[in-house]
Structures are given as structure tokens and as C-alpha cells.
Amino acid sequence: MPDGSLFGEVFGHSAVDVSDAAWLQAMLDTEAALARALERAGLAAPGAGAAVTAAARAERFDVATLGEATALTGNPVPALARELAAALPASAAAAVHRGATSQDIVDTAMMLLAATALDVIRTQASAAADAAAQLAAAHTDTIMTGRTLLQQAVPVTFGLVAAGWLTGLDEAVAALARVRTERLAVQFGGAAGTLAPLGTDGPRVAALLAAELGLTEPVLPWHTARLRIVELAAALAGLAAAAGKIARDVTLLAQTEVAEVREGGGVDRGGSSTMPHKRNPVAAIAILGCTRQAPGLLATLAAAAEQEHQRAAGAWHAEWQPLASLLRLTGSAAAWCAELLGGLEVDAAAMRASLDAARGLPLAERAAAVLAPRLGRAAAHDLLARASATAVTSGRPLRDTLRAELAASGVDIPARDIDAALDPAGYLGAAAVFVQRALAAHYRSTRSPGRRAGP
């Protein structure tokens, strides 16, 4: 979340909290839940769970002191467990960290942080999808130039463009929902994944711990089986990709020479330090600043998934900061995306002007199809290629150069047929159908249980 730092409002533009305090509280929550689970299993004194829970508050601990101790043990849990136990009577202290290893606490804390973050991220991404749906519905018939390889292609509608944004966001939200529901699991295996200190009670305590924390109970401890982390990271990177595609489209459509869309936000948004006339697409730029970092973080987490034997030497440690950063950056991108799409200004007149400025060239494909029955496909293509080349070099409309080529070839095509062939409104194919399909899929997803909230 925005933390008052210089770049916090750009890269932490959401309520996702992966600060040191959040990590610390998540670890304490895990220790407290373990004490309650042990008490429920009859393995801790009555009242031990409540006592540990009352003491497990982050503000009671000094992060800097724990950080110094982390340099001695490789992670903060040993020092944290000692301090927590020291604050309790002996009967309750005996329940602190019983049966657990440090990785159990850190991994479970990481799952808790991810669960909270995913709920926030899905809410923001769903808001962005709702805004995209509104744009798609409002502009189903708004004709604009389609662009392939950064060159003008055939006509499309802005509704179809927004529908593409919508579908990307909806699919990303669905992937995050699956991870949130199915893949965030408690970690409880002890030193080498056997829970030997708890004997035959180990699996029962693990199940109770999962229930206490609202996390999935895994089939077995996953200390060096890191597919859950990779799947979480991939789902986050997927949303980052969907948001980044939207932001890149907006930056291109908002260029001065194009000016088909503008960001909202008022006169104070998008200012330049030296050029008073500029209105930069700040939200889109901020999204890209966040999402460009996601692939590298995903790659780091995927590389760290190769872990040896029962506990890894270094690869586990390599996950902590990249995953926290990926959660924070994806949350920021989702929040910026909701803001961007919620205030996006669409200039339909500019879109039509850009299309008209192409002098009919984007309709050359359709004109060739109209001529093919009379001339044959290859001859029609070659004739349109010559007419298009002349239109480009002379600056004349394709309509005029096409008529000249037809006359020179002795082909008589009624002018009304040529005009119809060069009408962009008649060459939109299934654009409107695709928009409606995207909207229907979106509205179905909004009615699905738990779209925004976690399980």
C-alpha cells in the first residue's frame, strides 16, 4: 500500500500490504493458529491458544531487532518464536512453535499474505473488467481503424477493442480465483516433512491448523515442492500481462498524432515538468512501470522452484522478496487499471477521422473480394495493389484510383458497388457478435460465487 515513500504511490497504488509489519503479523498469526490447533487436538494446555493469540501482535515486536537475528539464523522465525514464548506463561509457551520448523511458519505466512492480497487484487481487477464492459457496450458500433504491426489494417470497432481488454481481465481474474480457492495451502511438516515430534497426531493438527487459518490442507507438506508458488506467480503475471496490454493500447491511442482516447483525471493529471501543454497518460504509464517487472519476478520464482531433498539451501530464501514484490506490483497495476478504464475518454470523431484519412486503403481487402468474381482472385488482388500504390503516392482516395484502374482494364463496375465496397460500416464482420459474446461471458462471471471475495 502507499507508504509515503518516493515511489510508493506508483508501485504500491493499492491496499495490498506486503510490508515488514504485514509479514510479521502473518507469521504471528500462524504461530497463534498452531497453538489453537494444538489445544483443539488436546496437545496443549487449556487456554494456551487464546493466550498465544493475545500475545501474537506485531506491534509488540521490534522488526529491526528481529532483522538482526535473521542474519544469524537465515530467517526471522527462531528469534520470533523465542520472543513470543518469553512473553507467555510456561503452560502457554509450551504451545509456541510445537512440531513446526521455520519454513512452516514463513511459508504459511506467505500463503496468508497472498490470500489477503489476492482478494484485494481480484476486487480491483474486477472493477477494471466492469469498466471495460461498459466501454465495450457503449462503443459496440464505434468504428475505428484496426492496426496490425503498427500499420493501419481493416476497420474494427472500439467496442471490440474494449471487449478484448475485458476478456483478458476476466480470464486473469478467473485464474487468480482458482489459485485463491485451491492452491493456497497451509505448510506444516516439521524438520523434514514427517511431523515426527507430534507422532500420529501430526496430520490431525495440520488439518486443524488449515481450518484455523482458512487455507487449503495439502496432501502432504510441500517444503521443496514449489508448484504452488509458481502457479501463484504465473496467475499474477497473467493479470499483469492483461493490464499491460490495455495500458500499451492506451498509450498508443493517446499519442498526439492519433488522439483517439484520453485519460481522465482533470487538469492536474499528466503534467510535464517542462512542457505545460502536455497531458501524459499517467495511469497507463504507471501500469506499464509495474507490469514490466512481472516477467522477471516470475522467472526468478520459477528458477527457485528447483529445490533439493527435503529442505532447500537458498532457493527457498530466494522466493520471499520476489513474491512479495509481484503481489504488490500486480495489485498496483490492477488498481491503476480500474482507474484508467473507469475514466477513459473515447473520441469517436477522431477515430472516424483517422479511418477517413486513410483514403479508403483499409478497405482494399474488401474491394478485392468484390472484384474477384469478375476478374478472378489473383487479378483482383493485383489490380487493387496497383490502385493502392497509386493512392499512396498521389494522395488520392482509393475510390478514384480504383475507378481509373478499372477503366484502364476495360472492366465496368457500377460506382455504387465500389462505394459500398469501400464503406467501413459494411466490413466489420462479426465484431458486434464478438462484443456481445464477451459481455455475456463477463456477466456470467459476475454472478459466479466468490468472484471478488475469497473462500
* Site of grid cell 507469521: 27
Any long-range contacts for 154-157 (C-beta under 8 Å, 24+ apart)? Answer: 154/362, 154/363, 154/365, 154/366, 154/427, 155/355, 155/362, 155/363, 155/424, 155/425, 155/427, 155/428, 156/428, 156/431, 157/428, 157/431, 157/432, 157/435
- Choose the catalytic residue: 91, 272, 409, 448: 272
- Choose the catalytic residue: 311, 396, 451, 452: 311
Amino acid code (one letter) for 350: A
Dump the DSSP string for 384-423. Answer: HHHHHHHHHHH---HHHHHHHHHHHHT----HHHHHHHT-
What is the phi-psi region of residue 216: left when phi exceeds 0, alpha when psi lies from -120 to 50, beta otherwise? Answer: beta
First to last CA, the chain: 23
Rg (CA), the chain: 29
Cα separation, 5 vs 125, in Å, equals: 24
At residue 44, φ and ψ (nearest 5 deg) are -140, 155
Determine contact, residues 165/245, Cβ cutoff 8 Å: yes
Cα separation, 133 vs 159, in Å, equals: 9
Residue 272 appears among annotated catalytic residues: yes
At residue 263, φ and ψ (nearest 5 deg) are -75, 145
Considering only CA atoms, which of 193, 201, 203 is closest in space to residue 43?
201
The C-alpha angle with vertex 235 and arms to 232 and 237, in degrees rounded to 5, equals 110
- Residue 61 C-alpha cell reads as 515486536
User: Between the CA of residue 439 and those of 74, 210, 258, 334, what are the distances in Å?
Assistant: 50, 37, 27, 20
Considering only CA atoms, which of 224, 213, 229 is closest in space to residue 189?
224
User: DSSP label at 182?
Assistant: I
Cα separation, 449 vs 290, in Å, equals: 29
What residues are labeled active site? Answer: 272, 311
